[in-house]
Each structure stands twice: as structure tokens, then as C-alpha cells.
Amino acid sequence: MGLELSGNFSDNAWYMKNIDTIKSMIIELPSFVKQAGKDEFWLKAKNSQNSWDYDVRIFVQKGKFLIEASLCNEALHSDVKTLVGRVSTETSLNLLDDDGNMFRL
């Protein structure tokens, strides 16, 4: 099951100013495995059965924050929840699915 989520920040100026901080937060997550290019980060759960090199990809780009999950496991539910929690101490971040509905971890 694939899942695509977009990040909706209440303060886009904060997001633009803190892109590098968010990237550092992602690299600190336990399931982080690779930075693929400047704006793409891969997460993979330690016990993942996925044959791909990642379970979750996070894209941190100017004006856009996207999460793509190939599997819904702890890389998504725990680590992405941790990331959202850390960002939310500074500004509100809601994750929206393809239909624009709020996604809860």
C-alpha cells in the first residue's frame, strides 16, 4: 500500500527559514538510511521486509514538504510522528493525504 502525504505548515515563513534544521532532524531519526540528493531522505525500519532500499521517502524542498510511504510501519508511524512532533514545537504541521484530508499518525 502506497501513501503520499503533503505537509501543511501554519507558518510557511518558519518552514522556509528552517529547511536545513528539518533536514537535520530527519537525519537524526533511527530509521534514517540515506540522503538521496539535496532534498530527498530515505527511512527504513530495521525489521522491514520491503525489498526496496526505503520504506519512506521525505522530500524537503522550498515551498513543498512531501512524505511518500511504500509501507506503513514504524518508520512512518514512529519516526515520522517524532519528526512532526519536533517541528510542531515551533509551528503547526498537518499532514494531508491525496484527498486533502488530515492524516493522523
For the residues 52-74, what does the mean pLDDT come to? 91
Q: Give the pLDDT score at 1.
A: 55
Compute CA distances 84 → 27, 47, 51, 52, whole Å.
14, 22, 26, 24
Q: Specify the 3-state DSSP secondary structure of 54.
A: coil
Q: Give the pLDDT score at 34.
A: 98
The domains located in the chain, with CATH, are 3-103 (3.30.70)
Average pLDDT, the chain: 93
* pLDDT band at residue 62 under the 50/70/90 scheme: very high
Residues 6+ apart with CB under 8 A from 14: 90, 91
For the residues 36-65, what does the mean pLDDT come to? 94
Q: Is the pLDDT of residue 73 over 90?
A: no
Q: Give the pLDDT score at 99.
A: 93
Percent of the chain with pLDDT over 70: 99
